[in-house]
A = this chain, B = another copy of it.
Amino acid sequence: MLGLMQDWPLRCHRIIDHAALFHANREVVSRSVEGPIHRTTYAAIRTKALKTAQALEAEGIRVGDRVATLAWNTGRHLEVWYGILGCGAVYHTVNPRLFPEQIAYIVGHAEDRVLFTDLTFVPLLEKLADKLPTVERYIVLTDAAHMPQTSLKNAVAYEDWIAGFDGDYAWKEVDENAAAGMCYTSGTTGNPKGVLYSHRSNVLHSMAALQVDMLGLSSNDVVMPVVPMFHANGWSLAFGMPMAGSKCVMPGAKMDGASIHELLESEGVTCTAAVPTIWLMLLQHLEETGGKLSTLKKVVIGGSACPRAMTKKFQDTYGVEVIHAWGMTEMSPLGTLCSLKPAYAKLTGDARLDVQEKQGHPPFTIEMKITDDEGNPLPWDDKTFGRLKVRGPAITSSYFKGEGGEILDEEGYFDTNDVGTIDQEGYLRITDRSKDVIKSGGEWISSIDLENLAVGHPDVAEAAVIGIAHPKWDERPLLIIVRKEGREVEAGDILDFMKGKIANWWMPDAVAFVDEIPHTATGKIQKTTLREQFHDYKFTDA
C-alpha cells in the first residue's frame, strides 16, 4: 500500500525557486573577474538562470546534454549553473588547474557541447581549441565592454547572449533521477573519471549538509565558498546557500590572503570553506598585517587533512571554530564533518584538538563501514584501520560511460580507496589511501602518519613514504625526504626523531634523500611516480 503524499520530484531548480521567493533580496556578492565588486540577489540570479536556460534551448541544447563551465566562483557562474540544469542539461564544472591535455580529455569524454568560460581562461582555450571538437560554442562570462577579440568558435559575451531572452521559461520537468551535474575525479592514476550527479542526489545531499551538526547554515549566515565550484561539486554550497537563504560572497579569481581577508571583513562573512592551502595563505597574511577576523565564526576545512596547528591558530588566536571535513567527488562530496557531539563538546585544549584532527562523523543519509581486504567489517575502536566504504543516495554507483567497471561491493558500498579508523562515537580518521598503506606481516602501516611525523623534524621540507617489497614482511616502509635548503640532516637523525612516537614495527626500514617529490596537478604527492622511481630499490638487510 502506497502512502498518499504528493508527487513532488526532487529537482535542483526548486532550490533557486525557493531562494527567489523566500530569500528574494538576500545578496550574492562577487569579486568579478573584470575587477569591481558586483552585487545581485537570489531573485535576480534566478531570472538570469531562466534566461540562460532559454538561450541554451535556443542553442539546440537538449535534456541530458553536457554543458561545461571553466570559471571561478561568481554570481554569473551560479546563474549558469542553475540555467544549465534548469533546461535539463548537465552542468560540467571543469577544473582549470588541470593540465591542458587533461582538460581536453575531460571535455571530449563528456562530449560538452557548449562551454562557458571566464575571461581568465580564454587564452588557454584558444591554444586548446582544436583539441575540443565537441564544443560548438564558447560563451565568455562577461559583457560586451569586456569581451576580447578571440578565435574561439562562435564566441559571444554572456550578457549579450542572454540579452534577447525574457526569462519567461518553465524549468524542464525531468525525472528526479535525471543527471543534473558532472565532475571528473582528479585521480592520481589513469584518466579522470566522470561522476554524474542526479537532481535527487544533489537535493538530498544539500538537505543533509545543512543539518546543524554538518554545515549548519541559516538565513542569517554570510557564506563565502572559497572552494571553487569546479572542485568536487563545489562542496554542495551552490545548492546549500540558496536553500538556506544565506548571503553568498564569491571570491572570483583572487584567492590570495589579502583578497580573501578583505572580503571576509567587508561583507561580514560568518562561514567559509576551502582547502588548507588557502588558509595557510590567509593566516600568513593575518600574521604579517596584524589583521583580525571580526565576523567569521566557522571555517570548514577539507580536501586534504587539516594540520593541527592550523586548527589551533584559527581557534585560539582568531576565535574561529574549525570544522574539519572529509569528502570525495564521488560523494557529492561531503562525507563527514568534525562538529563536536556531546561526548566531545566539553573538551578543551589538546584533548579537543585530538578530536578535531579526525575528519568527523557523517549526516543521516551516509552509511560507513571499514573492512579488511576480504571485506569483513572491522571494529569501531579508534585503533583498527581498514578500507573505508560508504553507501547513500548521493554516492556514486558507477562512473560515466562505465569507466572503472563495477565499483560497489555486494552490499552496495562504494570503496573510497581511503583507509581509516572509526571511534566509538562514529568519528572517522583517515589514515591513508588504500594503495599507499604499507602491508607489513598482515598488519597495516599508515604512510600518512609516518609522513606527518617526519615533516615535524625541523630540517625536513617534505616527506613521502612508500612500501618496498620485502621477502619476509611483504612490504616495509621507505621514508623519502627532501631536506630544507642548506640543511645537512642524515637518516639516523630523522629516525631517532621518530623513535618512541610510533610503534617500533612502524619504523621505516630506510631513508632516501631526493631533491624533489613529484606532485599531481592538484598538489597531491604522486606516489605512483615515486613507486616507479624506487621500483628496483632494495633494503640493504633484506
- B243 A6 Cβ-Cβ under 8 A: no
A63 to B3, CA, bound (A): 12
A90 to B179, CA, bound (A): 33
A197 to B63, CA, bound (A): 32
Interface residues of A in 148-190 (CB under 8 A from B): 175, 177-180
- A2 B212 Cβ-Cβ under 8 A: no
11 sample A-B contacts, Cβ–Cβ < 8 Å, listed by A number: A3-B179, A3-B196, A3-B198, A4-B179, A5-B201, A6-B408, A8-B395, A21-B426, A24-B426, A219-B339, A245-B341
Decide if A244 is an interface residue (CB 8 Å cutoff).
Answer: yes
With A15-B364, A396-B4, A399-B4 as known contacts, state yes or no: A218 contacts B208, CB within 8 Å: no
With A18-B364, A244-B212 as known contacts, state yes or no: A3 contacts B199, CB within 8 Å: yes
- B3 A391 Cβ-Cβ under 8 A: no
Decide if A400 is an interface residue (CB 8 Å cutoff).
Answer: yes
- B207 A397 Cβ-Cβ under 8 A: no
Residues of B within 8 A of A175 (CB): 2
CB distance from A238 to the nearest CB of B (A): 14
With A213-B244, A213-B245 as known contacts, state yes or no: A3 contacts B200, CB within 8 Å: yes
- B178 A4 Cβ-Cβ under 8 A: no
With A4-B397, A197-B5 as known contacts, state yes or no: A220 contacts B341, CB within 8 Å: yes
- B397 A6 Cβ-Cβ under 8 A: yes
With A4-B399, A26-B342 as known contacts, state yes or no: A364 contacts B414, CB within 8 Å: no
Besides A4-B396, A5-B198, 19 other A-B contacts (C-beta < 8 A): A2-B175, A2-B179, A3-B199, A3-B201, A4-B179, A4-B400, A6-B395, A6-B396, A6-B408, A8-B392, A21-B426, A22-B362, A212-B212, A212-B216, A212-B217, A213-B219, A218-B339, A220-B340, A220-B345
Decide if A361 is an interface residue (CB 8 Å cutoff).
Answer: yes
A218 to B198, CA, bound (A): 28
Residues of B within 8 A of A457 (CB): none
Decide if A64 is an interface residue (CB 8 Å cutoff).
Answer: yes
Q: Which 3 A-B pairs have the closest CB atoms?
A: A3-B198, A1-B64, A212-B218
A180 to B5, CA, bound (A): 11
Decide if A260 is an interface residue (CB 8 Å cutoff).
Answer: no
Select A391's contact among B4, B6, B26, B361, beta carbons within 8 Å. B6
- B220 A342 Cβ-Cβ under 8 A: yes
Residues of B within 8 A of A342 (CB): 26, 219-220, 247
Residues of B within 8 A of A64 (CB): 1
- B391 A8 Cβ-Cβ under 8 A: yes
Residues of B within 8 A of A26 (CB): 342
Residues of B within 8 A of A216 (CB): 212, 218
A391 to B14, CA, bound (A): 12
- A364 B1 Cβ-Cβ under 8 A: no
A361 to B414, CA, bound (A): 38
- B7 A397 Cβ-Cβ under 8 A: yes
* Chain A interfacial positions (CB closer than 8 Å to B): 1-8, 10, 14-15, 18, 21-26, 63-64, 90, 175, 177-180, 195-201, 204, 207-208, 210-213, 216-220, 243-245, 247, 332, 339-343, 345, 361-362, 364-365, 391-400, 408, 412, 414, 425-426
- Which among A7, A341, A396 has the greatest number of chain B C-beta atoms within 10 A? A341
Residues of B within 8 A of A201 (CB): 3, 5
With A6-B393, A394-B5, A395-B5 as known contacts, state yes or no: A22 contacts B177, CB within 8 Å: no
How many copies of this chain are found per oligomer? 2
Smallest CB-CB separation from A332: which chain B residue?
A: B5
User: Main SS of chain A's interface residues?
Assistant: loop
Smallest CB-CB separation from A14: which chain B residue?
A: B364
Residues of B within 8 A of A361 (CB): 22
Residues of B within 8 A of A63 (CB): 1
A400 to B400, CA, bound (A): 43
A196 to B2, CA, bound (A): 8
A64 to B399, CA, bound (A): 37
- Which among A1, A3, A342, A362 has the greatest number of chain B C-beta atoms within 10 A? A3
A365 to B200, CA, bound (A): 13
With A8-B365, A212-B218 as known contacts, state yes or no: A178 contacts B393, CB within 8 Å: no
A397 to B6, CA, bound (A): 5
With A15-B364, A341-B220 as known contacts, state yes or no: A4 contacts B195, CB within 8 Å: yes
Residues of B within 8 A of A180 (CB): 3
- B364 A243 Cβ-Cβ under 8 A: yes
CB distance from A480 to the nearest CB of B (A): 37
- B6 A412 Cβ-Cβ under 8 A: yes
- Which among A2, A212, A332, A392 has the greatest number of chain B C-beta atoms within 10 A? A212
- A23 B341 Cβ-Cβ under 8 A: yes
A30 to B345, CA, bound (A): 24
Select A212's contact among B90, B199, B210, B425, beta carbons within 8 Å. B210
A5 to B412, CA, bound (A): 11
Select A393's contact among B10, B247, B343, B396, beta carbons within 8 Å. B10
Smallest CB-CB separation from A195: which chain B residue?
A: B4
- A4 B196 Cβ-Cβ under 8 A: yes
